């Protein structure tokens, strides 16, 4: 009997368990999945909790309900992987061996990485919304906050869902406007990137939307420390931003066991070096990596995990059959961006093509619009919750192509002549 072991039963691990249990003969392949936490969080829902749009209970369900029969589930923390011996040690002392390993342990915000962030101000005047607890506590804070300088800060350039901080800024603008206190709140968005987003055309579009909504964007802001006494953010090059209320996106790191196993990349963030196309771990043929914990150069997002899962299913089956790994991931990412007042925009891109304007998924018809604020995009974002729980986690087919398509997109040269010329 062969043993397929999956580490992490979040978005990506759950999809892979469902997809592969349906494909692998139970008489030949035993499957186990390990996770340290029994609750599955619908993380995109964290965005809506601070503004009272979602109740916290809405985003959490038991992980076990989404895992298939025929897969053994172990609730334990992974402590170390020893690829040379094909073993995994759990924190409770158990040791598991594997023939094939899939790593899907994601990334977690770590406020302790920034001096002063996780100190006296934490959950008093400094919050995150990337965790269940942070989003819930921030909801209580915003409910009674009297206004002042709200600073949204990304500690590091690489975070999961890189558009969520922008969405937070847009929804904050809506929230305070609807509460009749927008004039009492200054919203400032500080980012280590050169603009509101990493890719030029989307960055330009989103920056001008920010400006239109009276949200100040402070680019090239590389956070060094939070001064708790002065309530000031400081960068390595001496910039300062004072705040009354800080909404932080702390450093996003892969799991500690990645470093303990000496499997992380050079940046010390515990992302695992992964082949950009096959999703095989760079140094180990019998290990595949999926989701946020890879170091592949595209967004860390549930949509990415979904497209990767389609590729990985094929490549794992090829690997098992001793065939070449022909399925190739193109970096496809697809994200709705809430822009406030019941509208959203949409971006669709991959390793080679930046987000472009146009229609999606049907050329000319849409019904979704790329890089354009529409009500339908907003409904698309809300509908994603249903798709996530009822289709995506189960590994069911979703009618969006795995590879990014140029159909319906305005070519880069025509999208924004001024910018492309620059």
Ligand X SMILES: Cc1cc2nc3c(=O)[nH]c(=O)nc-3n(C[C@H](O)[C@H](O)[C@H](O)COP(=O)(O)OP(=O)(O)OC[C@H]3O[C@@H](n4cnc5c(N)ncnc54)[C@H](O)[C@@H]3O)c2cc1C
Determine contact, residues 178/231, Cβ cutoff 8 Å.
no
Determine contact, residues 215/185, Cβ cutoff 8 Å.
no
What is the rounded CA–CA span in Å between residue 55 and residue 50? Answer: 9
Q: Pattern of binders to ligand X over 110-129, x per CB under 6 A? A: -------------------x
Comparison of 105 and 114: residue with beta carbon closer to ligand X: 105
In whole angstroms, the minimum distance from the beta carbon of 307 to ligand X comes to: 10
Element (H, E) at 15: helix 11-23
Q: Pattern of binders to ligand X over 207-246, x per CB under 6 A? A: ----------------------------------------
Site for ligand X contains 395 (CB under 6 A): no
Comparison of 11 and 377: residue with beta carbon closer to ligand X: 11
- For ligand X, which residue of 5, 13, 88, 206 counts as binding (CB under 6 A)? 13
Q: Which residue in 156, 131, 144 sits closest to 47, CA to CA?
A: 131
What residues contact residue 110 under an 8 Å CB cut-off, 6+ apart? 250, 251, 252, 253
The two structure tokens encoding residue 205: 């579009």
Beta 366-370 vs 358-362: how paired, if at all?
antiparallel
Site for ligand X contains 104 (CB under 6 A): yes
Determine contact, residues 151/246, Cβ cutoff 8 Å.
yes
Size of the site for ligand X (CB under 6 A): 35
Determine contact, residues 137/308, Cβ cutoff 8 Å.
no
Site for ligand X contains 380 (CB under 6 A): no
- For ligand X, which residue of 30, 77, 125, 265 counts as binding (CB under 6 A)? 77
Comparison of 129 and 197: residue with beta carbon closer to ligand X: 129
In whole angstroms, the minimum distance from the beta carbon of 357 to ligand X comes to: 20
Q: Which residue is nearest to ligand X (CB)?
A: 10
- For ligand X, which residue of 98, 130, 197, 349 counts as binding (CB under 6 A)? 130
**Could you tell me the strand order of the sheet in which 215-218 lies?**
126-127, 245-249, 148-154, 185-190, 215-218
Site for ligand X contains 303 (CB under 6 A): yes
Question: Applying CB under 6 A, which residues contact ligand X?
Answer: 8-13, 34-37, 43-44, 46-47, 77-78, 104-106, 129-130, 160-161, 164, 255, 257, 291-293, 300-303, 305, 335
């Amino acid at each position: 009997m062969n043993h397929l072991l999956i580490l992490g039963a979040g978005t990506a691990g759950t999809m892979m368990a469902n997809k592969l249990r349906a494909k692998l003969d139970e008489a030949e392949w035993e499957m186990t999945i390990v996770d340290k936490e029994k609750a599955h969080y619908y993380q995109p829902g964290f965005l809506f909790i601070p503004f009272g749009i979602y109740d916290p209970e809405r985003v959490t369900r038991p992980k076990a309900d989404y895992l298939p029969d025929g897969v053994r589930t172990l609730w334990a923390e992974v402590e170390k992987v020893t690829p040379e011996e094909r073993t995994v040690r759990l924190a409770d002392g158990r040791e598991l061996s594997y023939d094939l390993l899939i790593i899907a342990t994601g990334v977690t915000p770590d406020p302790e990485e920034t001096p002063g962030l996780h100190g006296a101000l934490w959950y008093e005047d400094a919050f995150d919304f990337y965790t269940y607890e942070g989003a819930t506590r921030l909801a209580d804070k915003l409910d009674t906050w009297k206004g002042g300088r709200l600073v949204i800060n990304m500690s590091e350039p690489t975070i999961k869902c890189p558009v969520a901080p922008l969405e937070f800024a847009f929804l904050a603008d809506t929230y305070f406007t609807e509460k009749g206190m927008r004039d009492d709140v200054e919203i400032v968005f500080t980012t280590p990137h050169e603009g509101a987003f990493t890719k030029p055309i989307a960055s330009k579009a989103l920056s001008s939307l920010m400006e239109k909504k009276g949200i100040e964007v402070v680019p090239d802001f590389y956070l060094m420390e939070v001064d708790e006494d002065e309530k000031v953010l400081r960068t390595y090059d001496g910039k300062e931003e004072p705040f009354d209320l800080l909404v932080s996106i702390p450093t996003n790191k892969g799991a500690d066991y990645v470093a303990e196993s000496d499997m992380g990349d050079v940046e010390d963030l515990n992302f695992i070096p992964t082949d950009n196309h096959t999703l095989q771990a760079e140094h180990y043929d019998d290990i595949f990596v999926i989701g946020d914990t890879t170091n592949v150069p595209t967004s860390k997002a549930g949509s990415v995990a979904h497209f990767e899962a389609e590729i990985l299913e094929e490549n794992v089956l090829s690997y098992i059959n001793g065939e070449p790994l022909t399925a190739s991931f193109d970096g496809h990412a697809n994200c709705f961006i809430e822009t406030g007042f019941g509208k959203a925009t949409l971006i669709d891109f991959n390793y080679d093509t930046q987000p472009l304007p146009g229609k999606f998924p049907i050329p000319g018809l849409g019904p979704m619009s790329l890089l354009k604020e529409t009500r339908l995009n907003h409904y698309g974002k809300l509908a994603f919750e249903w798709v996530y729980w009822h289709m995506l986690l189960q590994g069911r087919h979703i009618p969006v192509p795995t590879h990014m398509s140029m159909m319906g997109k305005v070519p880069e040269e025509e999208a924004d002549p001024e910018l492309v010329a620059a």
